Chains A and B, each alone.
Chain A
Amino acid sequence: MRRPLFIVGTLLAAIFALGADQPAVRIAATNSIGPRHLDKQTETAVIRDYLEAWRSLSSAFEQNRADLLDPDFTGTAKEKLAETIREQAKMGIHARYEDSAHDLQLVFYSPEGLSIQLIDTVEYDVQIMNGKTVLSTQHVRTKYVAVLTPTEVRWKVRVFQSEPE
Chain B
Amino acid sequence: MRFRISLLGALVLAAMPLLAQTGVLSMPKTVAAGSAFSIQSTGSGKAVLYIVGPGQVLRRDVLLGEPAFFAPGELYNAGHYLAILVGGSSTENGAFDVTAANQAAALSFLAKPSRLAVGLHEGVSGVVYVFDAFQNLVLALSSVSFQLSEASGAAQTRTVRTRNGVAWTKMNSGAREGAAQFVARVGDATGTRVIQQVPGDPCHLRMSARPSGERIAVETEPVRDCNGNALADGTIVTFTETHNGDESTVDVPLKRGIARTDMPAYGGARISVATGVFVGNEIRWGKGEER
Binding partners A and B: yes
**Chain B stretch 76-105: residues in CB contact (< 8 A) with chain A:** 77-80, 82, 84, 86, 91, 93, 95, 97, 99-100
Interface string of A110-139 (1 = CB under 8 A from B): 111011010100000111101000011111
Contacts of B110 in A (CB 8 A): 110, 112, 114-115
Contacts of B135 in A (CB 8 A): 76, 80
Contacts of A130 in B (CB 8 A): 86
CA distance A162 to B137 in the complex (A): 10
Q: Is B112 an interface residue (CB 8 A)?
A: yes
Interface SS majority for chain A: strand
On whether the beta carbons of B80 and A140 are closer than 8 Å, the reply is yes
Q: Is A59 an interface residue (CB 8 A)?
A: no
Q: Is B234 an interface residue (CB 8 A)?
A: no
Most buried by A among B30, B77, B110, B168: B168
Q: For A98, give its contact among B3, B9, B112 (CB under 8 Å).
A: B3
On whether the beta carbons of A161 and B50 are closer than 8 Å, the reply is no
Q: Is B142 an interface residue (CB 8 A)?
A: no
Contacts of A137 in B (CB 8 A): 3-5
Q: Is A87 an interface residue (CB 8 A)?
A: yes
Q: Is A63 an interface residue (CB 8 A)?
A: no
What is the total of A-B residue contacts with beta carbons within 8 Å? 142
On whether the beta carbons of A145 and B3 are closer than 8 Å, the reply is no
Contacts of A128 in B (CB 8 A): 50, 52, 82, 84
In the complex with contacts A87-B57, A136-B91, A138-B82, A125-B3 CB distance below 8 A:
yes
Q: Is A42 an interface residue (CB 8 A)?
A: no
**Chain A stretch 67-117: residues in CB contact (< 8 A) with chain B:** 76, 80-81, 83-84, 87-88, 91, 93, 95-98, 100, 107-108, 110-112, 114-115, 117
Q: Is A57 an interface residue (CB 8 A)?
A: yes
CB distance from A78 to the nearest CB of B (A): 12
CA distance A142 to B97 in the complex (A): 10
CA distance A34 to B163 in the complex (A): 11
On whether the beta carbons of B9 and A138 are closer than 8 Å, the reply is yes
Interface residues in B, total, Cβ within 8 A? 47
Contacts of B9 in A (CB 8 A): 138-139
Q: Is A21 an interface residue (CB 8 A)?
A: yes
Q: Is A35 an interface residue (CB 8 A)?
A: yes
Most buried by B among A107, A111, A163: A163
Q: Is A19 an interface residue (CB 8 A)?
A: no
Interface string of A152-165 (1 = CB under 8 A from B): 00000001111110
Smallest CB gap from B53: residue in A = A84
On whether the beta carbons of A164 and B97 are closer than 8 Å, the reply is yes
Q: For A108, give its contact among B79, B84, B163 (CB under 8 Å).
A: B163
Q: Is B65 an interface residue (CB 8 A)?
A: no
CA distance A43 to B283 in the complex (A): 57
On whether the beta carbons of A112 and B127 are closer than 8 Å, the reply is yes
In the complex with contacts A80-B55, A108-B163, A162-B78 CB distance below 8 A:
yes
Q: Chain A: residues with CB nearer than 8 A to chain B?
A: 21, 34-35, 57, 61, 76, 80-81, 83-84, 87-88, 91, 93, 95-98, 100, 107-108, 110-112, 114-115, 117, 119, 125-128, 130, 135-142, 145, 147, 159-164
List of 3 A-B pairs having minimum Cβ-Cβ separation, nearest first: A111-B125, A112-B112, A136-B84
A–B complex contacts, Cβ < 8 Å, 19 sampled: A76-B135, A84-B56, A87-B57, A98-B2, A98-B3, A100-B2, A108-B166, A114-B110, A117-B164, A128-B82, A135-B91, A136-B82, A139-B10, A145-B137, A145-B165, A159-B137, A161-B137, A163-B99, A164-B29
